[in-house]
Structures are given as structure tokens and as C-alpha cells.
């Protein structure tokens, strides 16, 4: 790994913002304002564990910018969670809501914990403890959390219930990504991946790649990765999954694997390793496969300056947040690899979360087909807005997406008289 390459996600987020601000010609005051979150909260969470002892957890909530609307962002439970990770994700959420042009700002939350080793009871007590600390800054018109890494609809339901217990009113819109029986939206479960695959479909059109004949690989076979694997053939009219990986390793078959069978295997065995009719492949080797589409769907910094030169995919669709460092991004651009940036490619999740907020606010719920159609419309329009900027300025898609998003947020800040 290159020693001069910073992998601090917030340093990366600020660097990306600086580059966009320079290209847009933003004044220094606006640029400095957009480089930092407007509000940050760090909380201490005492939780009684199953053994009767208390464990102390550190929690975070960062509201990055609300110029375009109430802030919105997921809640991650991870042993390596830090304030800088949460800051970066809140920044990316700000640009994400702007690039798909929904009337929201960006936020993010996190708790430093090891959820894999916790019981359901411990998770519920942690979820409720978090809301008791940060509930006062949440609300449909303030800030709305959603699931992220190692959180899920059940955890969101506990959080919503705790909030409603505190305020003594029904407020389903305070949390999105909830189970459908308590105000969740149809189509939320696969929305992140579905939106990404819609974007890939449009990218294939402009890059003159036959969608139905694409080969693809998925790095990170969690929620988004599994849905991408199964949705790709249906939305693109075909396609061959040749490789997939998770934290246990990867599997490869040049003739293709049945994505539905691989998902079933993963759900039964907890890993993709040893899937029948496949051979082992490392995560690093998977990234360098000669495929049409590569879906990075794991955590940050998977594609770095040390491995980017070996990547051969024609299109990269970043379903993970921050999977490519700025140095790697430059290398990919120079090598002619078409990279669909995270805050465009994975914006389907927040878009359907926005649909959920809308449905909660007027207590009327849409059918699945309506959600899919509206998501397709939003993602397709967002892609072509960014592609137009890409063509006009002959820059990478990430730079083009940043210019579209940052310009929209900066305009809202100026109209409000903030800068």
C-alpha cells in the first residue's frame, strides 16, 4: 500500500469536496463551510448486558448539512466506528441526496460495538439507549436515521418505538427502513442494489455495452451485494455472475454461477466459500478480474493506489460507501475505467427511504410496482444529469457527480444567506 495515501475517510471526503469546489469556482467561505459538519453529537451509552454487568458504548450522530431539507442518514454498528467515519458518511449522504435531487440533507450515525457477539436482547437495549440520548435531535422535520452496516429493520422498529414512547405520539417517519407492518415501505429492502443496477443499465447504453451479455463480479456479498447479484440479470436482460466474495474469501467460475443459489448458500452457511462448482478466489484477485461490471459492495478503501492499476472491469458500480480512494480514482480514470461513484450508484436506498418518509407523513402507502417505477425514474434522471456534466467537462464520473451535487447544496446555502 502506498505510504502517502491517506485512508482516513473524512480526509478523503474533504479532498473530494475541495476538488469539486475548485472546479465550480466556489468562493472560499462557501468551500470552508461545506468542508465541515454543521453539528456533531458524541454520546455515552451504558447498556446492561445479559450477564448483568454494564458495558459502556460510544455513539455518534453527525448532521452535516440541512440547507436542502431535513438531514437523513443511516446508523452503523461496527467495532471500528469512529467520528471521522461518521463525518465522511454524513458528507457523502449530503451529496447523495443532492445528486438524486430529493429535498433532504445529509447525516449519519454510529455506535462503536461488536454486534455479531451480542444477543437480540442486548441489541434492543443498545438501540433504545441510543434513542434516549439522541432522540431530542431527531424527527421527520429534523433528522431521520435508517439502517446501515449491522443494523436492520428490527433495530429500526425498536428505535421508533423508543422515540414514540418518549414523545407519547405516533411518529413512524422518525426512522426509515422499518418493517412494513409498522410503517416501512415496499421496495426498501433491495433499493440500494436496485438503484445501482438501474444506473449500470444506463451506463451500458452510453458505453455501448450489450447489457444482456455482461459478465459481473460482486466484492462483498452482504445485503447490497446479494441483491445486486440477483437483480442484475433481470434488470439488464441477462448477464453472468462469475465471482463473489465476502469476509471469508471468494468463489469463481468463468462459466457463471446461479446468483439465487449462491444467495441461498450464503444464507445457509454464513459464507460464500466452498460454494459447489466454483474455485476459491481472494478478494484482491476478484477485484482484478476481466469482467464488464464490478460491484464493490463491502467497506471503505477496497480499491487503493496499490491495486487500482490491476483492475480491468469496464464499469465499476460502487454499492459500498467510499470503496475507492482518490489516488485510485485517478488511476482508474487514466486507465479508461468507467467508475459510477458511490453517492450516485448507491443512492437508491436513501431515495426509497425518502419515499417511506413521504408515505409516513400522509399515512398512505404505495404498491411495490409504483415504488420501483419512481425509483427507476429518479435514478435514471440522476445518471443522465451527471453524465451530461461528465461529457461537458471530460472528467471522471465522480468529479461530475460532485459538481452536480455540491453546486445544488451551495446554491441552497447561498439562497438562505448562510454564506
> Catalytic residue positions?
108
Rounded CA-CA distance 173/169 in Å is 12
Rounded CA-CA distance 185/173 in Å is 11
Place of cell 459510477: 340
Rounded CA-CA distance 228/231 in Å is 5
Rounded CA-CA distance 193/141 in Å is 27
Q: Is the distance from CB of 77 to CB of 115 less than 8 angstroms?
A: yes
105, β-bridge pairs: 71
Q: Give the neighbor-by-neighbor strand order of the sheet with 315-317.
A: 279-281, 249-257, 240-246, 215-219, 293-296, 315-317, 338-340
Pick left, alpha or beta for residue 207 (phi over 0 → left; psi -120 to 50 → alpha; otherwise beta).
alpha
Radius of gyration of the chain (CA): 21
Backbone angles phi, psi at 350, to 5 degrees: -70, -30
Rounded CA-CA distance 150/110 in Å is 10
Rounded CA-CA distance 92/73 in Å is 10
- Identify the CA nearest to 69 among candidates 9, 131, 141: 141
DSSP result, 258-292? -HHHHHHHHHHHSSSTT-TT-EEE-HHHHHT---S
CA angle, residues 191, 196, 200, in degrees to nearest 5:
145
Amino acid at each position: 500500500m502506498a505510504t502517502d495515501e491517506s485512508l482516513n475517510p473524512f480526509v478523503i471526503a474533504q479532498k473530494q469536496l475541495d476538488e469539486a469546489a475548485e472546479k465550480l469556482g466556489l468562493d472560499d467561505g462557501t468551500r470552508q463551510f461545506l468542508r465541515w459538519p454543521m453539528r456533531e453529537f458524541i454520546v455515552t451509552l451504558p447498556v446492561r448486558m445479559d450477564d448483568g454487568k454494564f458495558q459502556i458504548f460510544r455513539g455518534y450522530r453527525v448532521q452535516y448539512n440541512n440547507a436542502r431539507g431535513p438531514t437523513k442518514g443511516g446508523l452503523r454498528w461496527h467495532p471500528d466506528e469512529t467520528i471521522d467515519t461518521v463525518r465522511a458518511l454524513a458528507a457523502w449522504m449530503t451529496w447523495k441526496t443532492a445528486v438524486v435531487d430529493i429535498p433532504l440533507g445529509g447525516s449519519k450515525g454510529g455506535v462503536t460495538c461488536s454486534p455479531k457477539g451480542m444477543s437480540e436482547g442486548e441489541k434492543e437495549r443498545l438501540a433504545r439507549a441510543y434513542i434516549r440520548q439522541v432522540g431530542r435531535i431527531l424527527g421527520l422535520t429534523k433528522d431521520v436515521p435508517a439502517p446501515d452496516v449491522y443494523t436492520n429493520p428490527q433495530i429500526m422498529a425498536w428505535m421508533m418505538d423508543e422515540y414514540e414512547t418518549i414523545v407519547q405520539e405516533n411518529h413512524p417517519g422518525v426512522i426509515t427502513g422499518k418493517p412494513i407492518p409498522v410503517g416501512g415501505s415496499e421496495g426498501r429492502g433491495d433499493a440500494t442494489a436496485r438503484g445501482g443496477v438501474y444506473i449500470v443499465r444506463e451506463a451500458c447504453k452510453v458505453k455501448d455495452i450489450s447489457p444482456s451479455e455482461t459478465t459481473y463480479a460482486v466484492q462483498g456479498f452482504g445485503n447490497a451485494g446479494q441483491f445486486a447479484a440477483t437483480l442484475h440479470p433481470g434488470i439488464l436482460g441477462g448477464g453472468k455472475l462469475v465471482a463473489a466474495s465476502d469476509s471469508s474469501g471468494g468463489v469463481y467460475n468463468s462459466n457463471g454461477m446461479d446468483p439465487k443459489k449462491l444467495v441461498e448458500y450464503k444464507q445457509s452457511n454464513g459464507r460464500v466459500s466452498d460454494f459447489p462448482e466454483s474455485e476459491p478466489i481472494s478478494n484482491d484477485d476478484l477485484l482484478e478480474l476481466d469482467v464488464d461490471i464490478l460491484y464493490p459492495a463491502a467497506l471503505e478503501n477496497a480499491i487503493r493506489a496499490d491495486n487500482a492499476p490491476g483492475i480491468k472491469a469496464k464499469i465499476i458500480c460502487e454499492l459500498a460507501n467510499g470503496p475507492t480512494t482518490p489516488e485510485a480514482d485517478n488511476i482508474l480514470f487514466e486507465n479508461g475505467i468507467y467508475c459510477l461513484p458511490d453517492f450516485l450508484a448507491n443512492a437508491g436506498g436513501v431515495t426509497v427511504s425518502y419515499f417511506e418518509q413521504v408515505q409516513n407523513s400522509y399515512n398512505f402507502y404505495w404498491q411495490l410496482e409504483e415504488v420501483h417505477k419512481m425509483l427507476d425514474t429518479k435514478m435514471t434522471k440522476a445518471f443522465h444529469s451527471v453524465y451530461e456534466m461528465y461529457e461537458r467537462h471530460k472528467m471522471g464520473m465522480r468529479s461530475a457527480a460532485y459538481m452536480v451535487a455540491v453546486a445544488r447544496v451551495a446554491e441552497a446555502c447561498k439562497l438562505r444567506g448562510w454564506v
